[in-house]
Structure 1
Amino acid sequence: MRRVACATVSLSPFLLALPAHAQDADLGDASVVALPEISVTANLAPTSLDKVGSAVTVITGEELREQKIQFVSDALRQVPGLAVNRTGPIGQLTQVRIRGSEGNQTKVFIDGVPVNDPAFGSEFDFSTLLADDVERIEVLRGPQSALYGSDAVGGVINIVTRTGEPGTHISGRLEGGSFGTVNGNASISGAGEMYNFIVSGMGYKTDGISVASENLGNTEKDGYRNGTVFAKGSLSPNEYFDMSGVIRYTSTKTDTDTDTYLPAYGHTGPTDSLQDTTGDDLYSRAQARLSLFDHHWEQIAGVSYTKTDTKYRNLAPTVVTSTYEGSTRRFDYQSNVFFNTPEVFDASHVVTFAVQNEEDGVVSDSAYSSFDRTVNSTGFVGQYQLSLFENLNLTGSIRHDVNEIFEDSTTYRATAAYFIDRTGTKLHGSFGTGVKNPTMFELYGYTNTYSGNPDLKPEEATGWDVGVDQQLFAGRAGVDVTYFNQRISDMITGSGQSSINLPGTSKIDGVEVGLSVNPIDPLTVRASYTYTDGHDATGAELVRRPRNVASLDINYRFLHDRANVNLNIDYTGVQKDWVYNQSYTQTYVVDLDAYTLVNLAASYDVNENAQIYGRVNNILNEDYYDVWGYGEEGISAYAGVKLTF
């Protein structure tokens, strides 16, 4: 993982795959010049990493494979500025908060598809996302509504899966271990001069542990099933035009427990019950890209469609108690113009214009809540990137959103980066504003304990950060320190059995530290630390935002790179959580203890086609809560084999 706040290798959320001809360069040809690493997620248009002023962290697919990570959410625990909360063991609701913002203030893309679910509070549940075939995870921190609209108050998480490489490749993996867990993956991929493709399938099954903590007297095991298939490809008839597409389908079945009143604790908490949740998620996108005037004018047009279908069931006998269907249809167009003015400040310029139109739909059906709503919005984006004297880079963005429910909103963002060649120092900073529209459920939903509030206003945010990124020891080490400051007004919060805009401003600030050291080629050490101080407008500490979060990852390759061992340590400090009274009309604050997760993974390449591996999770057998009352797995061990042809 690149711990340097603004160093990144990325693909734009609007780009599904590099043109096939760009992947087929003869690396042995001395005339081929290595291109600089770039980011386009941070600025929409391609930007060399040393010119990016925003705070960005990238986790590579190689790092995921070194750690044998099975779920993307486990990798995100290592990113500065992020807090991950899972409501129980594997398969349960998993939220990610960036810089103290709410889970539904994180915009998530998978292969260019926006996947926040309008039927799930405009949030993405990371419990469904397996890490197989993920090639890059990019986390962009700070308000990004000027680029990505509502939901991007805290930042953006962009997941990119791998593309086909030259030739034809078949691979498979099978693993088993604790709690009756079996999982695996199979894929076929390839690429030629004008095309690339991949088709992949993944499966995960576990008997699990009790979702409701055994500390509360619960013993029933709750299992989880996940089946995911996806296909992705591109066609590039020449260097000026390419088409690409992706489709991804995930089916899940999750055993759950229920909240009830616990007299011994004086508030609600989970207890064993015969319930489960089934989900079917479809994500898709198609796009075309055209480059004109010797690549000085680039145009990208795309369409995305997502649909989620979630059913909550009581078992024995099986009865569907409620269903929620969410859909998003999105059309987008982006135009980038690149030009230089060497005679004027030796400057280079990128001017971007984009239009993004979305229609979100929610259909809810239960004994308590039934509604069918759609909302349409259109965002107009303008961005200007200016590079002066090669070392000074400035970016300004502005966006105007037209929404059929709420008043029009305008958001903006500015970034700066200055690189000092002599010392290997980069100074960077950003400022931005954000907006988060109320969710459909907050506006119109209702249950036996909740009624929506159609008078809610959008939440508004401002945020800024400044930092320094320093290279050390001839590039073998790098450290960055970034201070961030977030302010959120009209924060939506529960009040009795409904929601309100909390008067005043919620204040969040903190420090992010990243370190990467490569003392010798086989050894890599990566570390991160985040301090977050967040309070709502009343002065109360924000829940599920630990003040202190840290991570250490040590990776060592040996035996001529055939063997690999990885040690990962994730620390989550003390944090607050909410529980409710018997009628769900009042909340109480409880403290969650700090915990440390230690994981060890190792692999050995038997030959060029076969690898055996194993991992042990939670070596210290920590008994901890991410969410009060919901159990987590103790020490567990897994082993597997991977074949590639």
Structure 2
Amino acid sequence: MKKTVLGLSLGLGSWVLGIPAWAQAVLDTGLSAEILNQPVTTPFRRPGLLRESSRPVYVITRQQMREQGARTVQEALRYLPGILSDGTAGNQLGALSSQFLRGARTAQVLVLLDGRPLNDLGFFGGFDLSQITTDVVERIEVSPGGGSTLYGSDAVGGVINIVTVEPQPETETVVEAAVGSYGLNEQGIQSRGQGQELGWVLSYRRLQSNNDFPFTIRRLGKSGRRENSAVEYHNLQAKLTWQLAEDQVLTANALYLNKTFRVPGSIDFPSLDAEQTTNDLLLDLRWLWTQETGSLQARLFLDDLNYRFSAPQSQGSRDLILRDSWGSQLQYAWKAGENLEGVLGADYRSISARNTTFSFARGSTNINYDDTVNQGALFARLDYSPDPRFHLDLGIRQDFSSLASGSATSPALGIRWALAEGTTLRASYAGSFRTPLLP
């Protein structure tokens, strides 16, 4: 699947809340300047500022998530325009999420964790954002529109980058607990700090809710209490940073996501025994070498994703979807001067998936699929500003995949032109694609 995206906008005046980078031109004063000077990496694949992007960007900060009371990444996305994060299993805590962004469905929206992909081809092609609790999140960057030039397949509708918390200079330990309606029960502890050469983030979150709420459907003349929709989380994070040298940092991040969610079914066809369980282990190792003229980054990541859906009485079956993936990234970002900088690199990822269905009636197991997909890519992006008021960016990526028709070339072009004080024109063009699912 291929898609071309063309965007053009003229920003006049000032927006204070929910500011997209493509629809504003704001004076460098007050709250507007603070928002525009937020750090982002998604549009550039390197550190940058929100104001420098020629593409759409929304940023949800840690403070905003706390003020909204968002307990999962799915809930944090609910207040953004143009994105629907609630799935078809209801919108209660723990319900399976969807990422409908600019008309693209979940499998066409790429989800990143600290800049590396999470989408897996063995489970509908997406990633359930209701699994990630916000205690481990520093900010969420959402870039609507095609992003395949920097990130490859699945970015037809856009990119969601979840940036996890970092160590901080002063040691901090936070213990939290909460109770609420519908059986909400929450406990968490997080410790962050930075020594002379070692920094750390250690976090644990338990989150539980019964979700048994009353309902009334007047049109159908039905009422009652929705049952079998409880959820329980056990999420852990461990991040360590080592200062190997003055200009070199090694970061290891491990994120364990456990969620058990009972699926109530529909009003007419309840499934009071249905339960889905996910156990995901996400591992990431990054090495960053920073110099005055640029930075070199290498990373290796490993994922072990396990999904089980069991309904022995109502459906008579149990489904298991097991996915293992590993990948690597190598990129160099350089700055040739005040008006020229760029990034180039290579990506690789291998995903193996196995799906089986066990029939309780027959006592047998059917293998639905068992396959492996290998993906590789080369990419480059150039940013050029011949004048402080005018910016041009060019990008291209060549992807290779072991799937049929999986290879693609993805170009991109963007401009940012300050026409006058308080008036900025931003325009972008991008070609995106998506590889097929596993058979």
The TM-score with structure 1 as length reference comes to 0.58
CA contact (8 A) 1:225 1:254 kept: yes
Show the counterpart of 1:327: 324
Show the counterpart of 1:156: 159
CA contact (8 A) 1:51 1:392 kept: no
CA gap of 1:435–1:318, structure 2 versus 1, over 3 A, is: closer
**Alpha-carbon distance in 1 for matches of 2:295, 2:98:** 36
Show the counterpart of 1:229: 236
Does residue 243 of the first structure (1) align with residue 234 of the second (2)? no
Does residue 418 of the first structure (1) align with residue 417 of the second (2)? yes
**Alpha-carbon distance in 2 for matches of 1:365, 1:217:** 37
CA deviations on 1:416-463 (whole Å, 9 max, x unpaired) are 11235x6222221211111111211xxx2xxxxxxxxxxxxxxxxxxx
Q: Paired residue for 1:349, among 330, 340, 349? A: 340
Show the counterpart of 1:181: 184
Show the counterpart of 1:127: 130
Q: Tell which has more relative contact order, 1 or 2 (C-alpha 8 A, sep 6+).
A: 2
CA contact (8 A) 1:2 1:59 kept: no
Show the counterpart of 2:336: 339
CA contact (8 A) 1:45 1:350 kept: no
Q: Paired residue for 1:300, among 297, 302, 317? A: 297
1:228, CA displacement in angstroms? 0.1
**Alpha-carbon distance in 1 for matches of 2:314, 2:381:** 57
Does residue 378 of the first structure (1) align with residue 376 of the second (2)? yes
- What is the aligned length? 397
1:332, CA displacement in angstroms? 0.8
Show the counterpart of 1:90: 93
Show the counterpart of 2:280: 281
CA contact (8 A) 1:6 1:49 kept: yes
Larger Rg: 1
Amino acid at match of 1:61: R
CA deviations on 1:149-169 (whole Å, 9 max, x unpaired) are 111111111111222212322
CA contact (8 A) 1:236 1:243 kept: yes
Does residue 63 of the first structure (1) align with residue 61 of the second (2)? no
Show the counterpart of 1:362: 353
Task: Report SS of the residue matched to 1:55.
Answer: coil
CA gap of 1:210–1:66, structure 2 versus 1, over 3 A, is: closer
Amino acid at match of 2:252: G
Show the counterpart of 1:290: 289
1:117, CA displacement in angstroms? 3.0
CA contact (8 A) 1:170 1:188 kept: yes
1:56, CA displacement in angstroms? 0.2
Amino acid at match of 2:343: T
CA contact (8 A) 1:82 1:97 kept: yes
CA gap of 1:394–1:291, structure 2 versus 1, over 3 A, is: same
Give runs of aligned pairs for residues 404-553 of structure 1, distance below 5 A. Answer: 404-407=402-405, 408-420=407-419, 423-440=421-438, 444=439
1:90, CA displacement in angstroms? 1.9
Amino acid at match of 2:281: L
Task: Report SS of the residue matched to 1:73.
Answer: helix
**Alpha-carbon distance in 2 for matches of 1:214, 1:90:** 20
Give runs of aligned pairs for residues 542-581 of structure 1, distance below 5 A. Answer: none
CA gap of 1:415–1:58, structure 2 versus 1, over 3 A, is: same
Unaligned ranges ≥5, structure 1:
9-34, 263-269, 341-346, 445-645
CA gap of 1:121–1:76, structure 2 versus 1, over 3 A, is: same
CA deviations on 1:232-282 (whole Å, 9 max, x unpaired) are 12122444211111100011111113469x6xxxxxxx5243111111011
Q: Paired residue for 1:136, among 106, 122, 139? A: 139
1:313, CA displacement in angstroms? 1.3
Amino acid at match of 1:230: Q
**Alpha-carbon distance in 1 for matches of 2:96, 2:67:** 26
Task: Report SS of the residue matched to 1:101.
Answer: coil
Amino acid at match of 1:356: D
**Alpha-carbon distance in 2 for matches of 1:253, 1:204:** 11
The TM-score with structure 2 as length reference comes to 0.84
Q: Sequence identity of aligned pairs in percent?
A: 23
CA contact (8 A) 1:300 1:335 kept: yes
Q: Paired residue for 1:170, among 165, 170, 173? A: 173
Does residue 147 of the first structure (1) align with residue 172 of the second (2)? no
**Alpha-carbon distance in 2 for matches of 1:170, 1:297:** 35
**Alpha-carbon distance in 2 for matches of 1:169, 1:43:** 31
**Alpha-carbon distance in 2 for matches of 1:319, 1:165:** 51
Show the counterpart of 2:5: none
Does residue 73 of the first structure (1) align with residue 74 of the second (2)? yes
Does residue 43 of the first structure (1) align with residue 41 of the second (2)? no
Amino acid at match of 2:66: R
CA contact (8 A) 2:109 2:154 kept: yes
**Alpha-carbon distance in 2 for matches of 1:208, 1:315:** 22
CA contact (8 A) 1:276 1:315 kept: no
